[in-house]
A and B are shown apart, each in its own frame.
Chain A
């Protein structure tokens, strides 16, 4: 069969088939998207996305700029709805419940699904207050409990030893890498279930990047992590599964080892080997 014919055959496969990965029965699905479509006005940004995202795994989303990967993860906590011209169709089941359901309280969703952004965005407050901010909003006033949460979160984010003696100092005094780990600690403070990360290391130096990568690896024991990254090696190093997005579609979704060694789709191979994007 010619390559073109093979490609055509591959493209004919439903996205449903492409998103299905054989997994042991005990693996829990945390997110399941079904026929997810999203439009920014007339622009069709996400097209028929079917993805099963598993618990206690790191799922990497890769693809060229403008392919819809950031849109996709911002849809998972409905942050994308902050853009007024957004329309969606289809379903996103979080732990079996459709997050687009009108009765689903968005605040509850965002308590369960934390987010870390490309640029570290600490609040202009002390290190302590950055972490205590979320728990306080949730009504925790007891100083002792807050102290425990702050320490636990900073420890989990592997930054406790670096900041324990300066908790009252302004977070802006930290380095970029420290600020990003602080933001991860802030996300952990409300004990989420899932952490969404949108290119969390793209603004960091190589050493800070490796620290965040190590941290992400440790965090998957307790949380499910979905990470958008432009760094192929990062996706290959840290993730369990990888989804390749192109022009708003999921072209291929598989075990990370497979995606980076023997991808099924020529477009995936061309992207990861730097032939486009």
Chain B
């Protein structure tokens, strides 16, 4: 194996670790939403307990990236790829944190049903679906260095933002009509915020992909 082939192998290894972290975050988000929708307290607690794995994966990526930089002294696209991997790993790790936050809110909500919340719950589910798709496509865009796909991912965030605004308004209305629902409404507000922030972090992944390919900073979060 030539030195360059060995370096490419190391870069692939780093990408595999990033994919693993992304898939972990995606699974955590899946499980958090399911636990929230089925009001499964035990499953929520498991998500919280599992979060150490995301932290560990994240730390491994950072350590590995620093070791590659030290050994290979990369430049140009190689260097950008490693630095962007570090940044994207931070975003994925945050997504896993949001899954934990959703699980914590689910535990605080306890078991209760409220028919007036149907619209809100539908919106939250839709926000989750879009974020989930953004997560998968965001990783693909980065791996394939696909600027077009990165821009599509960033555009998907607009719909999440719209749903966020709509849901917040509806939750305020519910709160005004039923002030005694304050705890329930607050937890749903939190969950809505966590999903919106998740989509924002994946938009960062898209921006980092554009930077990787073009070497230019572009704000896709506007």
Is A232 among interface residues, defined by CB-CB distance under 8 A? yes
Interface residues on A, range: 10 to 19
Whether A273 lies near B215 (C-beta < 8 A) is: no
CB proximity to B under 8 Å, residues A225-250: 232-233, 236
Whether A261 lies near B76 (C-beta < 8 A) is: yes
**Chain B window 9-31, contacts with chain A (Cβ cutoff 8 Å), 1 for yes, 0 for no:** 00000000000000000000000
Is A260 among interface residues, defined by CB-CB distance under 8 A? yes
Q: Give the distance in Å from the alpha carbon of A116 to the alpha carbon of B215 in the complex.
A: 36
CB proximity to A under 8 Å, residues B75-118: 75-80
Whether B4 lies near A263 (C-beta < 8 A) is: no
Of chain B, the residue at the smallest CB distance from A269 is B76
**Chain B window 39-76, contacts with chain A (Cβ cutoff 8 Å), 1 for yes, 0 for no:** 00000000000000000000000000000000001111
CB distance from A167 to the nearest CB of B (A): 39
Whether A273 lies near B74 (C-beta < 8 A) is: yes
Q: Give the distance in Å from the alpha carbon of A275 to the alpha carbon of B75 in the complex.
A: 12
CB distance from A81 to the nearest CB of B (A): 36
CB distance from A263 to the nearest CB of B (A): 6
Whether B76 lies near A260 (C-beta < 8 A) is: yes
* B75 partner residues in chain A, CB cutoff 8 A: 232, 236, 260-261, 272-273
Whether B3 lies near A274 (C-beta < 8 A) is: yes
* A262 partner residues in chain B, CB cutoff 8 A: 76, 214-215
| Number of interface residues, chain B, beta carbon within 8 A | 13
* B78 partner residues in chain A, CB cutoff 8 A: 273
* A232 partner residues in chain B, CB cutoff 8 A: 73, 75
Is B7 among interface residues, defined by CB-CB distance under 8 A? yes
Whether A272 lies near B76 (C-beta < 8 A) is: yes
Of chain B, the residue at the smallest CB distance from A233 is B73
Chain A interface main SS type: helix
Whether A261 lies near B215 (C-beta < 8 A) is: yes
Q: Of the candidates B7, B79, B214, B215, which one forms a contact with A274 in the assembled complex, judged by CB atoms under 8 Å apart? A: B7
Whether B73 lies near A273 (C-beta < 8 A) is: no
CB distance from A232 to the nearest CB of B (A): 6
* A261 partner residues in chain B, CB cutoff 8 A: 75-76, 79-80, 215
Q: Give the distance in Å from the alpha carbon of A272 to the alpha carbon of B79 in the complex.
A: 11
CB distance from A62 to the nearest CB of B (A): 11
Most buried by A among B3, B73, B76, B79: B76
* A263 partner residues in chain B, CB cutoff 8 A: 76
CB distance from B7 to the nearest CB of A (A): 7
Q: Give the distance in Å from the alpha carbon of A260 to the alpha carbon of B76 in the complex.
A: 5
Whether A273 lies near B3 (C-beta < 8 A) is: no
* B4 partner residues in chain A, CB cutoff 8 A: 273-275
Of chain B, the residue at the smallest CB distance from A273 is B78
Q: Give the distance in Å from the alpha carbon of A220 to the alpha carbon of B77 in the complex.
A: 30
Q: Give the distance in Å from the alpha carbon of A233 to the alpha carbon of B78 in the complex.
A: 14
CB distance from B36 to the nearest CB of A (A): 44
CB proximity to B under 8 Å, residues A259-277: 260-263, 269, 272-275
Of chain A, the residue at the smallest CB distance from B80 is A261
* A236 partner residues in chain B, CB cutoff 8 A: 75
Most buried by B among A233, A263, A272, A274: A274
CB distance from A251 to the nearest CB of B (A): 14
CB distance from B127 to the nearest CB of A (A): 36
Of chain A, the residue at the smallest CB distance from B72 is A274
* B74 partner residues in chain A, CB cutoff 8 A: 273
Most buried by A among B3, B73, B75: B75
- 20 A-B contacts (beta carbon < 8 Å): A232-B73, A232-B75, A233-B73, A236-B75, A260-B76, A261-B75, A261-B76, A261-B79, A261-B215, A262-B76, A262-B214, A263-B76, A272-B75, A273-B4, A273-B75, A273-B77, A273-B78, A274-B3, A274-B7, A275-B4
User: Taking beta carbons and an 8 Å cutoff, which residues of B are in contact with A?
Assistant: 3-4, 7, 73-80, 214-215
Other A-B contacts than A260-B76, A273-B76, A274-B4, 12 sampled, CB-CB below 8 A, are A232-B73, A232-B75, A236-B75, A261-B75, A262-B214, A269-B77, A272-B75, A273-B4, A273-B78, A274-B3, A274-B7, A275-B4
